[in-house]
Amino acid sequence: MADNHVRVFDTTLRDGEQAPGFSLRPAEKLQLARQIDALGVDIIEAGFPIASPADAEAVRQIATEIRRPVIACLARCHRADLEKAAWAIKPAARGRIHTFIATSDLHLKVKLRMSREQCLEAAVESVRYARQQTDDVQFSAEDATRSDIDFLCKVVESVIAVGATTINLPDTVGYTTPDETRDFFDRIRARVPNSDKVIFSTHCHDDLGLAVANSLAAIQGGARQVECTVNGIGERAGNAALEEIVMTLRIRSDRMPFTTSVMTKEIYPASEMLTKLTGQGVQVNKAVVGRNAFAHEAGIHQDGMLKDRRTYEIMRAEDVGAPWNPLVLGKHSGRHAVQRRCADLGFQLDGDELVEVYRGLMSIADDRKVLTDQDIRNVIARARAVQPAPHDAVDPFDTPSAAQPAIHESGYGHGV
pLDDT tens for residues 114-124?
999 999 999 99
Q: What is the dihedral of CA 237, 240, 242, 243, to 10 degrees?
A: 70
**CA-to-CA distance for 186 and 188, rounded, in angstroms?**
6
Contact present, 145 and 172 (Cβ < 8 Å): yes
Using DSSP's 3-state secondary structure scheme, residue 371 falls into: coil
Which is more confidently placed, 288 or 284?
Answer: 288
Contact present, 34 and 62 (Cβ < 8 Å): no
What's the whole-number mean pLDDT along residues 30-36? 98
**CA-to-CA distance for 52 and 39, rounded, in angstroms?**
27
| pTM of structure | 0.83
Which is more confidently placed, 322 or 401?
Answer: 322
- The answer to whether residue 416 scores a pLDDT higher than 70 is no
Indicate the domain borders of the chain.
7-278, 294-416
* Angle of CA points 404, 409, 411, to nearest 5°: 65
**CA-to-CA distance for 8 and 245, rounded, in angstroms?**
10
**CA-to-CA distance for 29 and 14, rounded, in angstroms?**
10
Q: What is the dihedral of CA 207, 226, 251, 36, to 10 degrees?
A: -100
Closest to 80 (Cα-Cα) out of 129, 131, 17 = 129
pLDDT tens for residues 62-114?
999 999 999 999 999 999 999 999 999 999 999 999 999 999 999 999 999 99
Which of 78-92, 200-214, 300-314, 364-378 is predicted least confidently?
Answer: 300-314
Contact present, 211 and 238 (Cβ < 8 Å): yes
- The answer to whether residue 318 scores a pLDDT higher than 80 is yes
What's the whole-number mean pLDDT along residues 263-288? 95
**CA-to-CA distance for 368 and 241, rounded, in angstroms?**
32
Which of 189-203, 258-272, 287-301, 363-377 is predicted least confidently?
Answer: 287-301
**What does the mean pLDDT of the chain come to?**
89
* pLDDT at residue 401 in the model: 36
Looking at 3.50.50.60, 3.40.50.300, 1.10.10.10, 3.20.20.70, the CATH number of the domain 7-278 comes to 3.20.20.70
Contact present, 37 and 275 (Cβ < 8 Å): no
What's the whole-number mean pLDDT along residues 152-158? 98
* pLDDT at residue 98 in the model: 98
What's the whole-number mean pLDDT along residues 340-346? 86
259 forms beta bridges with 5
What's the whole-number mean pLDDT along residues 19-32? 94
* pLDDT at residue 293 in the model: 79
What's the whole-number mean pLDDT along residues 239-259? 98
Closest to 141 (Cα-Cα) out of 122, 155, 127 = 155
* pLDDT at residue 414 in the model: 35
Indicate the pLDDT class of residue 394, thresholds 50, 70 and 90. very low
Using CB atoms within 10 Å of the CB of residue 117, give its burial: 0 to 12 exposed, 13 to 18 middle, 19+ buried. Answer: exposed
- The answer to whether residue 269 scores a pLDDT higher than 60 is yes
* Angle of CA points 335, 407, 342, to nearest 5°: 10
Which of 15-29, 351-365, 385-399 is predicted least confidently?
Answer: 385-399
Using DSSP's 3-state secondary structure scheme, residue 138 falls into: strand
Closest to 139 (Cα-Cα) out of 121, 127, 129 = 127
Percent of the chain with pLDDT over 90: 70
- The answer to whether residue 218 scores a pLDDT higher than 60 is yes
- The answer to whether residue 3 scores a pLDDT higher than 50 is yes
